[in-house]
């Protein structure tokens, strides 16, 4: 459920008319709903009610400082994957003493920074990394708390580029070698073995793979608790959001109307399926959701530049491009695209919805049916809150898009559109070329 809906014929985020945001701050602009984020957080945190749960928001999905502060205020900690993300948490005014550091390629500098910042634990993905963490902790004269990411070899049944829990993926230590990896790590003097970690992929739409993975890892977790006194089980992220019927899925009635076996994953179903497996372990549980927390809480606003009527094909050319929202080009992702001003008296238009960049990949949708639209009108890409702005770039010297946060009837620019001066600030022409 989310807070994007038509009031009359104009699309609103909570009580804010999105066309007003587009007119004031221009486009392309991302708009986020604080109430939707809060709702997602509370539902997921409550899904394992009665167990000792810490939500560590996987901030790589959307690391806007404003959203980080919103999460911190809600009681969330963070799952960070780089020194830059760690700095963002601190810049947002949050602490990292309940947060974890994940990723397959942590540098020495990142490990040192995380330890000095008082991170709750580092999630290691290989034996050489454990050795490196031990080494850095030794230099600092302290012990590093670690969990090892275990790869359960489970098929998450999601897109190939976002599946991570199969044995052929680069992530984690295979389950059958995990006990040996812990035994070896236990001999390293500057490590404290604190937990076990899994993360099997992203945009999962069913609970089955989560259940399978937890069932596979639970016996190991028990053994590690007994042998090394680990205290937590980190379940990773991966809960999917609705892309296809994004607008309709804002209403509770949409979910209720679906038969249970066709309903996309919900936090309630996730919790209900996992609780019986997790409760007997008596471990603290870390949840590291990214996409679920923010995916349906954000839209990308864009302006129609041209309606080009080609030979046997129409093109709706927008001012947003693949640099602003790369998911369609990179993952063949589907985003629902709707007009900010709905007009049911207009004809339907079948068109390819594209950006201005000279690449065939700069195409958001092929043969999509939308209401006929013309120059100067606005559209919104729904479910664009996760892996949207964070993956944006400057290809074609297009500036990084702006970001706006809505709460109730008010909205605020939380990230200004990049200026040309900011874009070229680090560049210089060498004297020998002048
Ligand atoms: C990306 C990632 C997450 C978050 O995944 P989502 O699908 O966005 O929930 C959590 N944990 C780890 C280790 C990750 O790499």
Q: Where are the domains of the chain?
A: 34-291, 296-423
The Cα 227–Cα 187 span in angstroms is 13
How would residue 183 be classed by pLDDT, with cut points 50, 70 and 90?
A: very high
CA–CA distances in Å: residue 302 to residues 79, 324, 325, 388, 409: 31, 10, 11, 13, 21
**Token couple for 82:** 């780089």
For all residues of the chain together, what is the average pLDDT? 96
- The arithmetic mean of pLDDT across residues 118-126, rounded, is 97
The CA 233 to ligand 1 mean position distance, Å, reads 15
How would residue 400 be classed by pLDDT, with cut points 50, 70 and 90?
A: very high
pLDDT at 293: 98
Q: In this structure, what are the phi and psi dihedrals at residue 327, rounded to the nearest 5 degrees?
A: -55, -45
How would residue 350 be classed by pLDDT, with cut points 50, 70 and 90?
A: very high
- The arithmetic mean of pLDDT across residues 427-433, rounded, is 98
Quote the Cα angle for 261-264-268, to 5°: 90
- 2-56 per-position pLDDT tens digit: 999 999 999 999 999 999 999 999 999 999 999 999 999 999 999 999 999 999 9
As for ligand 1, residues whose beta carbon falls within 6 Å of it are: 58, 60-61, 79, 102, 199, 202, 236-238, 288-292
Please determine, for residue 167, whether its predicted confidence score (pLDDT) is greater than 90: no
The Cα 352–Cα 354 span in angstroms is 6
Q: Write the CATH number of the domain with boundaries 34-291.
A: 3.20.20.10
pLDDT at 127: 95
Residue 289 Cα: closest atom of ligand 1 = 9
Among residues 13, 56, 358, 363, the one annotated as catalytic is 358
Q: How far is CA 50 from the centre of its chain?
A: 26
Please determine, for residue 169, whether its predicted confidence score (pLDDT) is greater than 80: no
Ligand 1 pocket mutation, candidates 55, 57, 79, criterion most atoms within 8 A of CB: 79
- Three-state secondary structure string covering 314-383: EEEEECCCCCCCCHHHHHCCCCCEEECECCCCCCEEEEEEECCCCCCCCEEEEEEEEECCCCCCEEEECC
pLDDT at 414: 98
Q: In this structure, what are the phi and psi dihedrals at residue 3, rounded to the nearest 5 degrees?
A: -110, 35
Give me the percent of the chain exceeding a pLDDT of 70.
100
- The arithmetic mean of pLDDT across residues 332-342, rounded, is 97
- The arithmetic mean of pLDDT across residues 368-397, rounded, is 98
- Of 164-168, 215-219, 353-357, the poorest mean pLDDT is in 164-168
CATH for the 296-423 domain, from 2.40.37.10, 2.60.40.10, 3.40.50.10190, 2.60.40.3880 = 2.40.37.10
- 138-157 per-position pLDDT tens digit: 999 999 999 999 999 998 87
The CA 199 to ligand 1 mean position distance, Å, reads 7
56 is a catalytic site residue: no
Whether 236 and 291 have beta carbons less than 8 Å apart is answered as: no
Residue 149 Cα: closest atom of ligand 1 = 13
- 281-306 per-position pLDDT tens digit: 999 999 999 999 999 999 999 999 99
Give me the percent of the chain exceeding a pLDDT of 90.
94
The Cα 164–Cα 144 span in angstroms is 25
pLDDT at 342: 97
The CA 79 to ligand 1 mean position distance, Å, reads 8
Residue 60 Cα: closest atom of ligand 1 = 1
0.85 cut: is pTM over it? yes
The CA 288 to ligand 1 mean position distance, Å, reads 6
pLDDT at 164: 75
Q: Which is it for strands 232-234 and 284-287: parallel, antiparallel or unpaired?
A: parallel
CA–CA distances in Å: residue 366 to residues 159, 326, 353, 432: 19, 15, 7, 48
């Amino acid at each position: 459920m989310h807070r994007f809906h038509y009031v009359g014929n104009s699309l609103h985020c909570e009580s804010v008319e999105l066309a007003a945001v587009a007119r004031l701050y221009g486009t392309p602009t991302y708009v986020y709903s604080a109430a939707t984020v809060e709702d997602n957080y509370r539902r997921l945190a409550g899904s394992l009610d009665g167990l000792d749960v810490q939500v560590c928001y996987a901030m790589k999905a959307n690391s806007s400082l404003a959203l980080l502060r919103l999460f911190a205020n809600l009681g969330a900690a963070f799952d960070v994957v780089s020194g830059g993300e760690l700095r963002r948490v601190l810049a947002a005014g949050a602490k990292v003493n309940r947060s974890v550091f994940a990723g397959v390629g942590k540098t020495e500098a990142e490990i040192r920074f995380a330890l000095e910042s008082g991170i709750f634990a580092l999630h290691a993905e290989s034996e050489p990394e454990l050795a490196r963490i031990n080494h850095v902790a030794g230099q600092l004269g302290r012990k590093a708390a670690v969990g090892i990411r275990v790869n359960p070899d489970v098929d998450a049944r999601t897109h190939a580029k976002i599946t991570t829990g199969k044995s052929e993926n680069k992530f984690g230590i295979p389950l059958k070698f995990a006990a040996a990896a812990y035994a070896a790590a236990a001999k390293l003097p500057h490590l404290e073995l604190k937990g076990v970690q899994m993360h099997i992929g992203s945009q999962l739409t069913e609970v089955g793979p989560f259940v399978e993975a937890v069932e596979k890892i639970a016996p190991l977790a028990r053994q590690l608790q007994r042998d090394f006194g680990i205290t937590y089980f980190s379940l990773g992220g991966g809960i999917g959001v609705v892309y296809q019927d994004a607008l309709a899925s804002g209403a509770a009635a949409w979910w209720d109307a679906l038969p249970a076996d066709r309903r996309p994953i919900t936090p309630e179903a996730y919790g209900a399926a996992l609780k019986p497996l997790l409760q007997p372990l008596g471990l603290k549980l870390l949840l590291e959701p990214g996409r679920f927390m923010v995916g349906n809480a954000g839209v990308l606003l864009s302006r129609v530049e041209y309606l080009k009527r080609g030979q046997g094909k129409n093109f709706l050319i927008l001012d947003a491009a693949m640099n602003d929202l790369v998911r369609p080009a990179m993952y063949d992702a589907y985003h629902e695209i709707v007009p900010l001003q709905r007009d049911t008296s207009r004809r339907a238009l079948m068109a390819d919805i594209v950006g201005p960049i000279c690449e065939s990949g700069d195409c958001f949708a092929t043969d999509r049916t939308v209401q006929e639209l013309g120059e100067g009108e606005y559209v919104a890409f729904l479910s664009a809150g996760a892996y949207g702005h964070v993956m944006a770039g400057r290809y074609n010297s297009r500036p990084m898009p702006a970001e706006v946060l809505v709460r109730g009837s008010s909205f605020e620019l939380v990230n200004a559109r990049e200026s040309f001066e900011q874009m070229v600030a680090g560049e210089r022409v060498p004297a020998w070329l002048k």
